[in-house]
Amino acid sequence: MSTDPYAYRPGLIFLSKYAGYVISLWPERYHIYPDGSREMIAQPGAADFEFGLETSQEFVPEDEDGRPVTTSPVMGMEDYSSMSNMRADIRGGAFDLDSMADYYQWTEEQRDTAARKLLRVALDPRQPQVTLFEPKAPEPPWPTYDKLQNYLEIAKLADDLGLLVEAIAYERYTKRREGVLSALEARRRDREAEEALTAQ
């Protein structure tokens, strides 16, 4: 594991005190033609804190009084009880590096460059406008979860234990295995359909 404090690592989330705060990461690049005209060949990179957090994040950063410190719009967080009046309570923004690297289809080199620049800002006490937030990983839904490899077995056990929602949240936050998530989601949909029929 790298000891470089500015090196990329999965799960980096940055918080800003200011709504819509933007940090430039790298400039656009152009190709200059012989006639002097130019064409953009690479888009500029920026960390836009207005995007907020990805839907799959299972936490809301809060201050010491229990108030959320992210802002509107925070993608997928509309249903959290602590975000009930989100649009009227703007206190800052969030930037989920992994989510935005996927969204912008950044290369690994661009992602690593973004991490390095953002970490330099977040870890510099002279620049309090951005801070690093690294949530503690959640507990597995049951003790042997991390030892299981077969996605069908994981989904069946989660269903049997009544822990489908917890297993989905944990898998999304930690391993993010597509096969496991697909099997868990299929079980959850089947369970919801079965409960809907029973309720009729």
pLDDT tens figures, 89-102:
345 788 999 989 99
Contact assessment for residue 94 and residue 70, using Cβ atoms and an 8 Å cutoff = yes
Whole-model pTM?
Answer: 0.53
**What pLDDT does residue 93 have?**
86
Structure tokens at 132: 């690093």
**Is a pLDDT exceeding 80 seen at residue 122?**
yes
**What pLDDT does residue 6 have?**
93
Euclidean distance between CA atoms 193 and 200, whole angstroms: 11
Q: Which helix (H) or strand (E) holds 112?
A: helix 108-122
Angle (CA) 141-147-153 rounded to 5° is 75
> For 6-39, what is each residue's pLDDT tens digit?
999 888 999 998 878 899 999 888 989 999 899 9
Euclidean distance between CA atoms 9 and 166, whole angstroms: 25
**What pLDDT does residue 64 have?**
52
Euclidean distance between CA atoms 100 and 78, whole angstroms: 19
**For the chain, which residues make up each domain, given as ranges?**
13-133, 145-194
**Is a pLDDT exceeding 80 seen at residue 111?**
yes
Residue type at 63? D
**What pLDDT does residue 167 have?**
93
Of 58 and 156, the structure prediction assigns the larger pLDDT to 156
Q: Could you count the other beta carbons within 10 Å of the beta carbon of residue 115?
A: 20
